[in-house]
Structure 1
Amino acid sequence: MKTFERYFIALNKWALVLLLGAMAVIVFANVSLRYLTNFSITWSEEVARYLMIWMTFIGAGLALRTGGHVAVSNFQEMLGPAGQRAVRILILCLLLAFFAIMIWMGLNYMDRARFQLTPATRVSFSYIYAAMPIGFGLLIVHLLLIARSFVMENRFAEMETDAPSTTLHERAIPSIAGNRD
């Protein structure tokens, strides 16, 4: 299961990197062309907007796993350990139900918009709305992967970073960095 989770997170991260990279290239190219040649790419703003929508829905699961979404925990903190666990189970069930409803709503939007075309690229809006059920499906997977640690320990997953664990300063001056009390 850990191997699946590691690959799943890596694919999710790379999808975000590719979407952000494509958006940055398109916007940079359009701005450069506009100011250097007085020519603008007519579809760039539309495509950048839709890439941003996809990034939002695909990235929501990664934010969820680290506790990056807004949460109000005052009520939960007033309760004892058993009450806190019960509230977290309720939250988990409500989130799963909400995500499932949003998948259904997203599929409904896709069905309704399948014959409407975007203004500049003339692509079916159903491809844009597909971000919603896919993003909420990813949210369900992410939530299920962290459900046990969330319910039992109120702990979210820690994201692995590609950066080394020590800073440049700590490597340069190990005696000072190691003497923190």
Structure 2
Amino acid sequence: MFNRFLNHLEEWLISSFMAAATLVAFAAVVMRYTTGGGISWAQELTIYLFIWMAKFGAAYGVRTGIHIGVDFVVNAANPPIRRILIITAMSLGVTFTGVIAFFGARWVIFIYGTGQVSPDLEWPMWIIYLAIPLGSGLMCYRFIQAMILFLKTGLLHSHTQGMAGAAQEEKEALP
């Protein structure tokens, strides 16, 4: 139940951030060419929205198995070595994203204490930087999910249906 809610929230956030960034950029261009003026904060907001979208999109990529990877060595290895390489890679993913989430949270706390605000929007910067620990924490969680699934079933990702509606399933279970 929790994972299902989290999946939908993740997809909704990614879609919303992407749509909002597109609309803000479009409105800014229309304003610039029709009135000669622009929306002073549009570029800043668009950048922040794309940062948030990318952080949550990376977690979505881990969940659905669509991350780009160089798997030539893994595919060339015999099954026992392949299993070790996959577990090692996932463990490194968990470690890296966990460390980024931890230090990102420390950074957010530090920035909160400084009272910094963004230049154009004048939003508290700690809210903007919150994308780092939240996105990396979710990505760490997705790596843990993927590793548990692999250890139990040999599948690299479960049968999922993402935003594009394309169902993906690992065809060959690894030993």
TM range, smaller chain: 0.7 to 0.9
2:42 counterpart (41, 44, 62): 44
2:72 to 64, 70, 74: 74
Distance between the aligned counterparts of 1:66 and 1:150, measured in 2?
A: 13
Contact 2:64 2:162 in 1 (8 A): no
1:113 aligned counterpart, secondary structure = helix
Q: Which residue of 2 aligns with 1:140?
A: 140
CA distance in 1, matches of 2:94, 2:127: 24
CA distance in 1, matches of 2:16, 2:76: 43
Paired residues, what number? 163
Rounded Cα–Cα distance in structure 2 between residues aligned with 1:21 and 1:74: 36
Mapping 1:1-181, distance limit 5 Å: 3-114=1-112, 115-151=115-151, 152-160=153-161
What's the counterpart of residue 170 of structure 1? none
Cα drift, residue 108 of structure 1: 2.5
C-alpha offsets along residues 67-122 of structure 1, whole Å, 9 cap, x if unaligned?
32232223323332222112222222211111111012212322333322211011
CA distance in 2, matches of 1:163, 1:128: 27
Counterpart contact for 2:11–2:163, Cα < 8 Å: no
Structure 1 CA distance, aligned partners of 2:79 and 2:165?
36
In structure 2, the gaps of 5 or more residues are: 167-175
Deviation at 1:154, TM superposition (A): 4.7
Q: Measured at CA, do residues 104 and 163 of structure 1 come closer, stay the same or move farther in structure 2, by a change above 3 Å?
A: closer
The code of the aligned residue for 2:138 comes to L
Q: TM-score w.r.t. structure 2 length? A: 0.82
**Any gaps of 5 or more consecutive residues in structure 1?**
166-181
String of CA shifts for 1:25-44, please: whole Å, max 9, x gaps.
21111111111112211111
Provide the identity percentage: 26
CA contact (8 A) 1:5 1:145 kept: no
Q: Name the larger-Rg structure.
A: 1
Pairwise CA distance, 1:164 = 8.1
